[in-house]
């Protein structure tokens, strides 16, 4: 007798069942049943935002070097489970292994930016007077992320730039391919990443995205994975209620050279004046 596994959500460093008690079947590209995934509800979104807000102070207050080292550790652990991730992607062994390797490289790339983005994005501003005028980037807060259909490389490409700069996030995983997202959550749970920094919800994008967009304690919204223009527009309109920072690129933007745009989009600039001389 085969046992049909139901994958849980990842909230606050733990794996709770969905408050709704719902689930949906996940199938392979050939239509074969793989497992059940929890179908998150509005209550699960609220719980995930609470967990992300609770973790924000500690994560944003950590040194940039420390955040980078944690991302390096996640990349190392993901590489150690390379074969498992490749199996769950279900796109052919060679292509899957190449995608896992690309995901590890993407994590390492963003980890390297952890202690450099402030130097690139910050500045010392010339002023006419006896003052120092310095601008430095600070994380925006809690970011809602709608992950693209690419279940592993796409997921890491939208999550890594958010957390390496000190933000915390609530992620809506790929609806048709959520298993790699939950396996990645298992890696995060056993790494040095504090609970609540990344929270992963599985379920219907059209159901969960509007609640994230309208939540008043969410400071930013990444709509990379939203392909429905009407849904994206509704999310942008809801996000305007508390002036969320919104990123709405296409999933095609997740290329070989990710650039710094995804990191700087969810940073705020703080400018400090300090007297100098006599």
Structure confidence by residue, pLDDT tens digits, 126-179: 888 888 888 999 999 999 999 998 888 999 999 999 999 999 999 999 998 898
37 membership: H or E segment, kind and range: strand 33-38
**Residue 91 has what pLDDT?**
64
Indicate the average pLDDT of the chain. Answer: 91
Over the stretch 214-258, which tens digit does the pLDDT of each residue have? 999 999 999 999 999 999 999 999 999 999 999 998 766 766 667
Tell me if 115 sits within 8 A of 252, measured CB to CB.
no
All residues at 6 or more sequence positions from 219 whose CB lies less than 8 Å from its CB, including other chains? 140, 141, 142, 143, 167, 242, 244, 245, 266
The pair of structure tokens assigned to 151 is 């279940």
Over the stretch 47-85, which tens digit does the pLDDT of each residue have? 999 999 999 999 999 999 999 999 999 999 999 888 888
Please say if the pLDDT value at position 1 is more than 60: no
Please say if the pLDDT value at position 188 is more than 70: yes
Q: How far apart are the first and last CA of the chain?
A: 83
**Residue 81 has what pLDDT?**
87
Alpha-helical (H) ranges within the chain are: 42-61, 64-80, 82-89, 93-113, 117-121, 153-164, 179-189, 205-214, 229-239, 261-264
Domains of the chain: 9-25+35-275 (3.40.605.10)
**Residue 2 has what pLDDT?**
64
How many angstroms separate the Cα of 74 from the Cα of each of 10, 69, 85, 91, 103? 16, 9, 14, 23, 11
The pair of structure tokens assigned to 185 is 């959550």
């Amino acid at each position: 007798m085969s046992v049909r596994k139901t994958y849980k959500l990842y909230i606050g460093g733990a794996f709770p069942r969905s408050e709704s008690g719902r689930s949906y079947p996940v199938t392979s590209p050939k239509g074969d049943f793989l497992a059940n995934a929890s179908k998150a509800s509005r209550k699960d979104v609220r719980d995930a935002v609470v967990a992300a807000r609770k973790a924000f102070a500690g994560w944003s207050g950590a040194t940039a070097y420390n955040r980078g080292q944690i991302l390096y550790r996640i990349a190392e652990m993901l590489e150690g489970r390379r074969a498992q991730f490749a199996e769950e992607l279900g796109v052919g062994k060679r292509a899957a292994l190449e995608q896992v390797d690309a995901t590890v490289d993407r994590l390492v790339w963003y980890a390297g930016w952890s202690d450099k983005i402030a130097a690139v994005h910050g500045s010392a501003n010339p002023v006419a007077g006896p003052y120092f005028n310095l601008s430095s980037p600070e994380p925006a807060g809690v970011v809602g992320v709608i992950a693209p259909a690419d279940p592993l490389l796409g997921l890491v490409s939208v999550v890594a730039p958010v957390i390496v700069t000190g933000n915390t996030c609530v992620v809506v995983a790929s609806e048709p391919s959520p298993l790699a997202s939950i396996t990645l959550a298992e890696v995060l749970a056993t790494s040095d990443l504090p609970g609540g920094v990344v929270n992963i919800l599985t379920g219907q994008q059209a159901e969960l995205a509007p609640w994230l967009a309208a939540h008043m304690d969410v400071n930013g919204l990444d709509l990379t994975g939203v392909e429905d223009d009407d849904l994206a527009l509704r999310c942008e309109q809801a996000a305007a209620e508390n002036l969320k920072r919104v990123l709405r690129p296409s999933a095609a933007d997740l290329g070989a050279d990710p650039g710094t745009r995804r990191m700087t989009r969810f940073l705020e600039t703080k400018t400090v004046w300090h007297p100098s001389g006599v």
